[in-house]
Structure 1
Amino acid sequence: MERTSELPDAAGMSRYVEGVVAEWLRGERRLPLDYSVESLRVADRIVAGVRAGRGADERTVARALRGVGAYVGEVMVRAGGGSWVDLDSRQRDYFEQPVGVRMPDGRVWNPLGRAMRRYDRGKGGRESLYVFYLLLHGRMGGVVRGVR
């Protein structure tokens, strides 16, 4: 599945997410996406809806999942104090994404990949985007550098 095209670099991710949210708020959808941690439950439902949408072409699915993953990352930035970062070549190879989020403890996380896993693996609690954030937040206490 197409995973990285149409994504800006780290400096452009917040603006990209604002565009995605604006698109999702237009028309009938009116999704409650306010960049709160609680809104990640809505992100989980969006992915579930994409999974249920039988017959959607691969490009449409990839675009939706990029948007959801970027939204999760922006919540990590706004609510968790993280920052978008351009990944180095090793991280790009591992995450299969061009950008990630560095949290205050120095760890780099992959919200774009997490949205893909949520889609690929179904609705299991371990892949929930909301739970992902809660687990992430609980790990922010120690200062350990690494890649997650």
Structure 2
Amino acid sequence: MPQGENPTAADMRRHATAFVARVASSRLPLDHSVASLRVVDFLIDGLRKGTPERERPDAVLFALGAYVGEVLVRRAGAVWVDLDAHQRAYFGQRVGVRMPDGRVWNPLGKVVNRYEVGPEESLRTFYLTLPGRTAGRTAECAL
């Protein structure tokens, strides 16, 4: 999370957009598609290899989490939500996404798990196995 900031659901699209703009010169295909989650997995693998073990790149992981959440919003019908006290305690985050079926997910925490655990926590696989997606938005999953 950005230093000294307590993000709200209303802030998350801005964080995702700012991250995409910052990395645009790298020509990474971050187009909010399901396929772009492979790119996020690849970026996290690079962070894992290039970051000293004790120095977790929290600001970058937050930005990647905002991006992953925004993919869920745009492709799966989710909405950003401010988590209540119980959810904040459970997820360790202030914001998450609510799926059309009412389930709440934690994309920020999912990105941290991907960083800490490795490829078995693939973000693309997470999306493809995610229950509660909007029916009309799953056609892209074949990518």
Q: One fold, TM greater than 0.5?
A: yes
Gaps of 5+ in 1: 142-148
Local SS of the residue matching 2:129:
helix
1:97-116 correspondence runs (5 A): 97-116=93-112
Q: Are positions 1:67 and 2:66 aligned together?
A: no
Aligned to 1:11: 10
| Cα distance in structure 2, aligned partners of 1:49 and 1:36 | 21
Within the candidate set 58, 65, 84, 1:88 is matched to: 84
Q: 1:86 to 1:103 in 2, by over 3 A?
A: same
| 1:34-82 deviation digits (Å, cap 9, x = unpaired) | 00011000010111111011338836x1111111111110000001111
| Cα distance in structure 2, aligned partners of 1:10 and 1:93 | 17
**What is the number of residues matched between the two proteins?**
133
TM-score by length of 1: 0.82
Aligned to 1:32: 29
Kept in 2: contact 1:70–1:111 (CA 8 A): yes
Aligned to 1:130: 124
Please state which structure has a larger fraction of its residues in helix: 2
Q: 1:78 to 1:64 in 2, by over 3 A?
A: same
Which of 49-58 and 78-87 deviates more?
49-58
Aligned to 1:47: 44
TM-score by length of 2: 0.85
Identity %: 53
Kept in 2: contact 1:24–1:31 (CA 8 A): yes
Q: Could you list the runs of 4 or more consecutive aligned residues of structure 1 that deviate by over 6 angstroms after TM superposition?
A: none
